[in-house]
């Protein structure tokens, strides 16, 4: 679902992302996490703020992994 839904949401919200210099993509990530929370019964995020915080940590973790990959290559 994330493979299909997230690119569509990013395309639709592109003007907002450009205006906010990319920070709106965190909102899109939080929405994606909330949608996953709705469909998956074993997780519970507890609201938008928790989903936004999780999206922030995912972005930071991905950035760190990309930096480690650059160092190892």
Q: What does the pLDDT read at residue 62?
A: 87
pLDDT at position 23 is 86
> Which parts of the chain sit beneath pLDDT 70?
1-2, 72-73
DSSP three-state, residue 38: helix
pLDDT at 54: 95
Task: Look at residue 51 in the predicted model and tell me its pLDDT.
Answer: 95
Burial class (CB in 10 A: 0-12, 13-18, 19+), 6: middle
Residue 3 has a pLDDT of 74
Residue 57: what pLDDT?
A: 95
Q: Which helix (H) or strand (E) holds 63?
A: helix 48-72
pTM of the predicted model, to two decimals?
Answer: 0.74
């Amino acid at each position: 679902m994330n493979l299909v839904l997230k690119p569509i949401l990013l395309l639709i919200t592109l003007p907002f992302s450009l205006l906010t210099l990319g920070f709106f993509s965190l909102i899109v990530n939080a929405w994606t996490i909330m949608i996953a929370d709705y469909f998956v019964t074993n997780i519970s995020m507890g609201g938008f703020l928790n989903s936004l915080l999780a999206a922030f940590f995912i972005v930071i973790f991905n950035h760190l992994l990309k930096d480690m990959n650059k160092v190892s290559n």
